[in-house]
């Protein structure tokens, strides 16, 4: 977007930033802590709450968030320096990973499409989820585009929920990169495959609890490729707000605690540039949402998998 950003409501500073840290497949739950000296640390949750092993459905439905609020400031000895620690996705792969298409007016305009009359839902495979700094494996012959999105993580089973009650089903928010192979999506009409290659869903760095933001959250979203700005907008451009999206999805799907709903992307995607821009090995990708942190990923060739 050209010009200055619109005024947005700032983060409230009341909630928590949940992380999962450690080697892929062996991540531990933690709380991101910003120290008074400006450094960051991670509170090792399992070290002080031995029965909390994962931020999964059981955690959310058994007062897990409430328990973390009670321990986050009481165990400084359980904190480890965050520098150099790998962060995994802030929640494990969900049972449902639902995305919304054409949910920003600017994005519909750049595609030359009319505004949808109801949310357009599609799915990504949960196995596509990786951490916020993990390498993105690029299949051969793929034409991969990237999209910065505000993602919702549900705190409760969710079915036939009214829009006015939807905020009570939201545990928090994170950043999701909806990577897409445009050749598969547009050339052979394989949406699910185009969006579900392993690693096509960087998630994180944090799950920021819902009480950290106003509702509906109004935050800035940006993406950069090799230092060049591609997307630069804020959530006021959404066509359907989070409450309406959660309600609509819940009337068509039976959703579980820990499931993810990604709310769409603003204008600026690479495939709409002239000439079109797609990811290449060696590229550096950066995504940021105000208050939700930063993703930074390197793109590497995945020569073992055909495009």
Radius of gyration of the chain (CA): 19
Q: 292 near 174, Cβ under 8 Å?
A: yes
Of the residues 50, 69, 88, the one at which a domain ends:
88
pLDDT of residue 306: 54
CA 163 to CA 144: how far, in whole Å?
Answer: 34
pLDDT of residue 24: 97
Does residue 307 lie within any of the structural domains?
Answer: no
Q: Is 74 exposed, middle or buried (0-12, 13-18, 19+ CB in 10 A)?
A: exposed
Residues 211 and 81 in one domain: no
Same domain? 23 vs 112:
no
Q: Do 84 and 99 lie in a common domain?
A: no
**Does 158 fall in a domain?**
yes
Q: Which domain holds residue 48?
A: 13-88
Report d(CA 23, CA 12) in Å as an integer. Answer: 32
Flag whether 5 is in a domain.
Answer: no
Q: Are both 94 and 84 inside the same structural domain?
A: no
Q: What is d(CA 107, CA 272) in angstroms, rounded to the nearest whole number?
A: 10
Structure tokens at 301: 């060739």
Same domain membership, residue 82 and residue 127: no
Please check whether residues 102 and 172 belong to one and the same domain: yes
d(Cα 105, Cα 107) in Å, to the nearest integer?
A: 5
- Whether residues 175 and 52 share a domain: the answer is no
Q: Considering its fold, how many domains does the chain have in total? A: 2
Amino acid 64: pLDDT = 96
- pLDDT for 158-210, tens place per residue? 999 999 999 999 999 999 999 999 999 988 889 999 999 999 999 999 999 99
Q: Which residues of the chain have pLDDT under 50?
A: 1-10, 307
pLDDT one-digit tens code per residue, 105-127? 999 999 999 999 999 999 999 99
The reply to whether 57 and 129 lie within a common domain is: no
Confirm whether 189 is domain-assigned: yes
29 falls within a domain: yes
User: Do both 157 and 168 map to the same domain?
Assistant: yes
Q: Does residue 90 have a cis bond before it (omega within 30 degrees)? A: no
Residue 3 forms part of a structural domain: no
State the CATH number of the domain containing residue 259: 3.90.850.10
Tokens 């750049």 correspond to what residue? 110
Residues 39, 98 within the same domain: no
Cβ-contact 203, 129 below 8 angstroms: yes
Backbone angles phi, psi at 288, to 5 degrees: -145, 140
The reply to whether 4 falls in a domain is no
C-alpha distances in Å from residue 64, one per residue of 47, 87, 97, 171: 15, 20, 21, 11
Q: Are residues 109 and 229 in the same domain?
A: yes
In this structure, the answer to whether residues 137 and 284 fall within a common structural domain is yes
The span from the CA of 7 to the CA of 25, in Å, is: 40
Q: In whole angstroms, what is the distance from residue 245 CA to residue 32 CA?
A: 28
Last residue of a domain, one of 39, 57, 88: 88
């Amino acid at each position: 977007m050209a010009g200055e950003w619109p005024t947005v409501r700032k983060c409230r500073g009341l909630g928590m930033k949940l992380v999962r840290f450690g080697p892929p497949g062996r991540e531990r739950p933690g709380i991101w802590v910003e120290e008074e000296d400006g450094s960051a640390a991670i509170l090792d949750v399992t070290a002080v709450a031995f029965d909390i092993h994962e931020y999964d459905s059981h955690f959310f439905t058994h007062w897990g968030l409430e328990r973390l609020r009670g321990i986050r400031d009481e165990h400084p000895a359980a904190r480890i320096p965050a520098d150099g620690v790998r962060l995994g996705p802030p929640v494990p792969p969900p049972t449902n990973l639902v995305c919304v298409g054409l949910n920003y007016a600017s994005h519909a305009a750049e595609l030359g499409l009319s505004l949808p009359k109801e949310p357009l839902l599609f799915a990504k495979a949960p196995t596509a989820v990786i951490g916020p700094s993990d390498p993105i494996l690029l299949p051969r012959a793929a034409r991969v585009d990237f999209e910065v999105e505000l993602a919702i993580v549900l705190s409760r089973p969710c079915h036939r929920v009214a829009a006015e009650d939807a905020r009570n089903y939201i545990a928090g928010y994170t950043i999701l990169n909806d990577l897409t192979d445009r050749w598969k999506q547009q050339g052979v009409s394989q949406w699910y495959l185009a969006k579900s290659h392993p690693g096509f869903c960087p998630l994180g760095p944090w799950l920021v609890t819902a009480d950290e933001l106003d509702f509906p959250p109004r935050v800035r979203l940006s993406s950069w490729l090799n230092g060049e700005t591609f997307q630069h907008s804020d959530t006021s451009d959404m066509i359907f707000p989070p409450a309406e999206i959660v309600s609509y999805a819940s009337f068509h799907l039976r959703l579980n605690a820990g499931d993810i709903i990604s709310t769409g992307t603003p204008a600026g995607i690479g495939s709409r540039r002239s000439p079109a821009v797609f990811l290449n090995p060696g590229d550096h990708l950066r995504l940021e949402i105000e208050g939700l942190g930063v993703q930074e990923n390197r793109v590497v060739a995945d020569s073992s998998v055909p495009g």
